[in-house]
Amino acid sequence: MKFLLPLLRNNLLQLSHANQLRYADTKNRTKTLTLYMLIAAILMGLLAYLIYSLKIIYSIAWSLEEVVTELVIPMVLICVILNIAISVFWGSGLLLSDTNIDSVLALPIPLRTLILSKLTVLFMVEVALTVALLLPMMVLFGLAADMGFPFYLIVLGITILFPVIPGLLGTMIGTQIYRILKSSSARIARLKAAAAILVLFAFMIFMFCKFPDIAAGNFGDVISTSTFTLYAGQYIHRLLNGDYLLIGLYFGGVFLIGVILLYGLIKIFRNWYSNNAIQGSKSQPVDWNKQTTKQHSPVSALLQRERTRYFSLPVYLTNTACGLLFAAVFVLLVVLMSDKITPYIYQLAEYFQVPFADYDVLFIYAFSILTTISCTTCASISIEGKQIEALKSLPIAAKSIFQAKVLHHLSLFVPTIFALNTIMA
């Protein structure tokens, strides 16, 4: 505790940039004051809108069931999503992106205390957000049910502890994402590229399958929350009505799960820093007498270089693979869900005035257009950038460089096109 409060104070000063108002020069001080005024104006606007909305909500006569199902449950979901999002994008970098972390770790301060001091700042922000959004709805339930003063104390405790689990869970998820994004491992780079391709492929499937229905106003079974709303409404209704067993389970569950998540977060950070500390000290002797080296022709070596770079850069991979992904989605829809793709073929037929008997040609036409969208050759040349001059200075002909880039494109696209075309045929 003797270290926690000073660390918390330093974190708050660092977050608020208060030291810049005292020690910075005139230019930085003016910047800080401008930032303060901008944030204050935004907060005042949001507060005015919140007060106006609450005034309208409180002026309506609500039943207890309506308060729970129409106000409390949606606000609980919103608070959970916001707390997880804030923790993923902000809480994950509290320690990993701290530039002074090495000097802080050199002090005789337990890592647990350091993490708690960082997470307390995040927790304070999330509590303020939850109190502003969720607490008024629970107070409205108390007013509608004519509850006493102990109810409001319990509701205040429930609201304060509400961000614990979403905050810690989001911080753990964001920390792992942060570690993956900052990792320089070739394996991690390839995993990132594969994950980007899978996410893009899933989005394309969802876009072709669900966007037309959503645009037509038919949501179907995209999101079904009736069962969740029913059970969540029953639990929250009993919790707010003073079911002491559920209240005890809530506080006990938050404490137990919070301790487990905090312990896991401490282990993650400890492994992170210990791995960074010993990463440079690991070395293995190499017996060069037993090592064999492969000799490649210039074109073969350049082709291997192109493949390694292609699967190590997620941006390069996703930008040049969009056409093939669209073609794969197109073939998948033609084979499994032809009713989803047939309207687009009919539109092409009307535009080109193709007879009904020749509709099959349009499938080949659409497939050809999709496969020609992607090209790795031009992207590979632009990626070279300043390195192209160094590459030209080597005893390699420009013809070999261009030949390797074209062969890389053909080695990827020809087998893929052949396989997709065979499946569609």
pLDDT in tens, 158-197: 899 999 999 888 888 888 777 776 665 666 666 766 777 7
pLDDT at 224 over 50: no
CA distance 237 to 306: 61
Q: What is the pLDDT of residues 357-414, one digit of tens each?
A: 777 777 787 788 888 877 787 777 777 766 777 777 777 777 888 888 888 888 888 8
Which one is predicted more confidently, 107 or 334?
Answer: 334
Region 10-21: mean pLDDT is 75
Residue the block writes with tokens 């905050």: 167
- pLDDT at position 42 is 92
**Residue 244 neighbours by CB distance under 10 Å:** 8
The alpha-carbon radius of gyration of the chain (Å, integer) is 29
- pLDDT at position 329 is 80
- pLDDT at position 223 is 44
pTM beyond 0.75, yes or no: no
In the structure, what pLDDT confidence band is assigned to residue 99 with cuts at 50, 70 and 90?
low
- pLDDT at position 67 is 83
Among the ranges given (1-10, 58-67, 96-105, 377-386), the one the predictor scored with the smallest mean pLDDT: 96-105
pLDDT at 286 over 60: no
Among the ranges given (71-80, 145-154, 158-167, 271-280), the one the predictor scored with the smallest mean pLDDT: 271-280
**Element holding 38 (H helix, E strand):** helix 26-58
Region 236-262: mean pLDDT is 84
Region 293-305: mean pLDDT is 75
CA distance 362 to 357: 11
In the structure, what pLDDT confidence band is assigned to residue 41 with cuts at 50, 70 and 90?
very high
pLDDT at 92 over 70: no
Question: How wide is the angle at C-alpha 323 spanned by C-alphas 317 and 324, nearest 5°?
Answer: 75
Query: CA dist 182 to 187, 249, 290, 381, 417, Å?
Result: 13, 39, 35, 26, 35
- pLDDT at position 367 is 81
**Residue 227 neighbours by CB distance under 10 Å:** 8
